[in-house]
Amino acid sequence: MEKVITTLLLLCGSVCAQASTFADSDVCPTLPSLSSTAQATSFSDGDAQAGEKLFDQYKCNGCHIDKVGGDGSAIFTRPDRTVTSPEELIKQMTLCSGIIGKTLTIQEQQHLGAYLNQRYYKLK
């Protein structure tokens, strides 16, 4: 039984380590505060207005317009959209920005995430 608990704790730890890519890294190391880690996943360190600026600055909608037309925002609202969690949102933003040779900082991910989440995704 003890072994099971240890394994569980380890699992939690590694989830936390992954989460720290987008969470404030200060939040993570303390296991008892797992609930605050969950909070941080919804881009609580980001500022939606700053995110909107970055979105324009990096011309994020350029390719999206090619793909879905209009102002490109339909990529975030299409019924079969791929992003269903904050983790996936980070992953997709990383992929997209990688194509244009840009590495988003964790702060930029938070801003962009806050913007897209507030405006389109409404993920918890």
Which listed residue (92, 106, 107, 118) binds ligand HEC by CB under 6 A? Answer: 92
- Residues 27 and 40: beta-carbon distance below 8 Å: yes
The span from the CA of 121 to the CA of 25, in Å, is 24
Residue type, 68: V
Sign of dihedral through CA atoms 115, 110, 27, 15?
positive
State the minimum distance, in angstroms, from the CB of residue 60 to ligand HEC: 3
Q: Of 16 and 83, which CB lies nearer to ligand HEC in the complex structure?
A: 83
Summarize as ranges the residues that interact with ligand HEC (CB under 6 A).
58, 60, 62-64, 67, 75-76, 81-83, 89, 92-93, 96-97, 99-100, 112, 116
